[in-house]
Homo-oligomer: A and B are copies of this chain.
Amino acid sequence: MNGNRFGRLFQVTTYGESHGDAMGVTVSGCPAGLELDEDDVQAELDRRKPGQSMITTSRGEPDAVSINSGVQDGYTTGTPIGMVIENKDARSGKYEPYVTAPRPSHGDFTYSAKFGTRNWGGGGRSSARETVNWVAAGAVAKKILETRDVRVKAHVNQIGDVEAPEVGFEQMLEHTEENPVRCADPETAEEMRELIDEYQEAGDSIGGSIYFEIRGVPRGLGAPRFDSVPSRLGQAMMSIPATTAFEFGLGREAREWTGKNRNEDWEFSSDGDPIPEGNKHGGLQGGITTGQPIYGEITWHAPTSIPKKQQTVDWETGEEKEIQVVGRHDPVLPPRAVPVVEAMLNLTILDFMLLGGRINPDRLDDDPGEYDTDYHPSSPDNE
């Protein structure tokens, strides 16, 4: 409603501005009995962290997470998990010139139009810094999904006009994190890197895209019509800052396919279950999972923070003026967005599994009649 919440049963609530004291996220609805500690979350945050390479902003944030609640003796308790990540390297002074003169193509003007005020430090709430919260929450979701063998992976499949060849899921798992571009094809990664460097040196930035795949999702998930899997993925992916397109299955190209070519006959799997003969449908039919991998693509426009001098206007003084965005910024977004995409996919899929009864919303153990169990004994004897 106010935009700071995601998820129906696995509920994520966030706060924080780029240059405020801290970012924070509350995860309500995590089943009890999950083994979880700060390292699990930190590992994902480290993947998103700024300053990892030359192609990311040099802002020096350790992004250290504190879990304030919801975990006892190393296991979740079923009550909300409150997490805080302090902002250590905010340098708001750099943004002073733009207080009443919006930066070109940023959210400066629109946030002021909405709130009638100006949260000027580093973009305030509109900053992509917010996604640190999503990655923290997604880390919890990921751990639960791992217990059900659901796996999510994304990689950068295009930067500018450099496009990666099709890669397999195992290849994505193996190679994506090996290079700063996060492209699972090492040769393309190298080309992408060169292209990015070129734009960065020219004081410019460039767009790109991410391909994702989700494996192991059980059939029968999704709540058509308005909460179908495509609907919720659409919402989730278009929530990511600077995205301009979401596609699944054949995506945009589907417009040129005929029914005969796209339709897939049903056959029996080795288990005797009906399965489609292919997966041009992208794992989703009628908005519900078929059990086949869900895959798709998301597009990012080029970062709007570029060192080039640009024109703006000052709404206080009524003057036109030249602006030069300083600060520390990424020349391209998808490489750092890979863990963000994965986080949002994990959150979305887990929510469907809780809704669909695949996971007991109260606890990982499926028997709702038990009032205690052995495998997560939150007792002093365990310490």
- Checking B92, B255, B356 against A208 with a beta-carbon cut-off of 8 angstroms, the contacting residue is B255
Counted per complex, copies of this chain come to 4
**A349 CB contacts on chain B under 8 angstroms:** none
Chain B residue with minimal CB distance to A238? Answer: B234
Given contacts A110-B289, A244-B248, A288-B107, contact A263 B304 (CB under 8 A): yes
- Checking B96, B263, B272 against A310 with a beta-carbon cut-off of 8 angstroms, the contacting residue is B263
- Checking B33, B113, B246 against A245 with a beta-carbon cut-off of 8 angstroms, the contacting residue is B246
Chain B residue with minimal CB distance to A114? Answer: B220
Given contacts A117-B372, A218-B369, contact A300 B254 (CB under 8 A): yes
> B15 near A79 (CB under 8 angstroms)?
yes
In the complex, A53 has a CB within 8 A of chain B = no
- Checking B252, B266, B291, B365 against A104 with a beta-carbon cut-off of 8 angstroms, the contacting residue is B266
**A256 CB contacts on chain B under 8 angstroms:** 160-161, 207
**A82 CB contacts on chain B under 8 angstroms:** 15-16, 22, 24, 84
> B247 near A315 (CB under 8 angstroms)?
no
In the complex, A171 has a CB within 8 A of chain B = no
Q: Which of A104, A249, A257 is the most central at the interface, judged by chain B CB atoms within 10 Å of its CB?
A: A104
In the complex, A29 has a CB within 8 A of chain B = yes
- Checking B72, B101, B124, B365 against A116 with a beta-carbon cut-off of 8 angstroms, the contacting residue is B365
> A119 near B79 (CB under 8 angstroms)?
yes
Given contacts A28-B4, A226-B6, contact A264 B220 (CB under 8 A): no
Q: Which residues from 251 to 303 on chain A have a C-beta closer than 8 Å to any C-beta of chain B?
A: 251-252, 254-260, 262-268, 272-274, 276-277, 281-282, 284-291, 297, 299-303
Given contacts A82-B15, A286-B107, A300-B254, contact A113 B371 (CB under 8 A): yes
> A79 near B124 (CB under 8 angstroms)?
yes
Given contacts A239-B231, A313-B267, contact A225 B84 (CB under 8 A): no
In the complex, A75 has a CB within 8 A of chain B = yes
Q: Which of A40-48, A55-63, A174-182, A373-381 contacts B (4 or more CB under 8 A)?
A: A373-381
Chain B residue with minimal CB distance to A373? Answer: B116
Q: What would be 18 A-B contacts, judged by CB atoms less than 8 Å apart?
A: A2-B80, A15-B69, A16-B68, A33-B115, A72-B119, A80-B125, A107-B285, A109-B290, A112-B371, A113-B219, A116-B363, A126-B286, A161-B256, A226-B235, A230-B244, A232-B235, A235-B235, A315-B371
State the 5 A-B residue pairs at the shortest beta-carbon distance, nearest first: A107-B286, A113-B220, A3-B223, A234-B234, A234-B238
